[in-house]
Amino acid sequence: MRLREIEEGVRVRVRGYRVPESARENIAGYVASRIISSLGVEAGVEISIRKRIRPKSGLGSSAASAVGAAFGLNELFELGLSREEVLRFALMGEHRFSGAEHADNVSACLYGGFTCVSYSPLRVLSLRVPEFLEYAAVLPEVEVETRRARAVLPGRVPLRAHVLNLGSASFMVAGIVLGDREAIRTGMRDEIATPLRSGLIPHFEGLREAALRAGALGLVISGSGPACLALCDSSVSTGEEVAGALADFYRDAGVECSTYSGKPGSGCKVC
């Protein structure tokens, strides 16, 4: 994302995946407009977006644009906003376009590392990721509507599933802090969303088995899908190697997909 000061207003230009260029209908444009009006900025901004994250993918496409706009305007106009204030402006965009102030994606994008979010009051912790940890993501060429993915989740959760997932979350955090590979593996268990949403993902069980055979610590649905995310111990299998195995599986299954791999990022920054 590139930002340029203009005399007034907010203009949005988009390359890559198509999203609205109207400042009112584009999440980056909306966040920029809120910052300018709320803080009395006496100038406008042109936002050029190279959209490389497919919308409705489960990979935080809208969050990336919201954070990029809030972070970029803070730098461009030297507003002196704290990271927490930047986060809150990005959350305005998430609320406007998704209907809820979910801070999971925007906090990860802004802070980097492994983020933990608490609400009422909002607080974000960013934990340093172990050096060995890499990721592989696969995005099949299907669309999963967020509303549909939410609709399959139950209003009540069985006690056993709740206890297991609470233990998984605890093990995941402990595994990140301690650099414990087996704890991270345990932390990737999910007995609530995955069993219900896996039917929305093409060949999910086979995909997970392919990830494990390739040496991944585990594979989960990313957000509401259809992207899936594997975590990897690079001393066993790199993210690139696991991504290749996931691509091979989908190719053999006749499903078109894109793959991504690398190390977890360190958060939003000026390039």
Burial class (CB in 10 A: 0-12, 13-18, 19+), 151: exposed
What is the chain's percent helix, strand, coil content, to nearest 5? 45, 20, 35
Distance CA 133, CA 76 (A): 33
Distance CA 236, CA 197 (A): 29
Contact 140, 256 (CB under 8 A): yes
Active site residue 259: no
Reported as half-sphere exposure (CB side, CA atoms, 13 A), residue 261 has a value of 22
Distance CA 165, CA 147 (A): 23
Distance between terminal CA atoms of the chain? 10
Q: Pick the catalytic residue: 75, 101, 146, 191?
A: 146
Element counts in the chain: helices (H) and strands (E): 10, 9
Per DSSP, the three-state class of 10 is strand
Q: Pick the catalytic residue: 94, 115, 238, 259?
A: 94
Contact 136, 216 (CB under 8 A): yes
Active site residue 115: no
**What is the identity of the amino acid at 1?**
M
Number of Cβ atoms within 10 Å of the Cβ of 41: 17
Distance CA 114, CA 221 (A): 17
Distance CA 8, CA 257 (A): 41
> Active-site residues: which are they?
94, 146
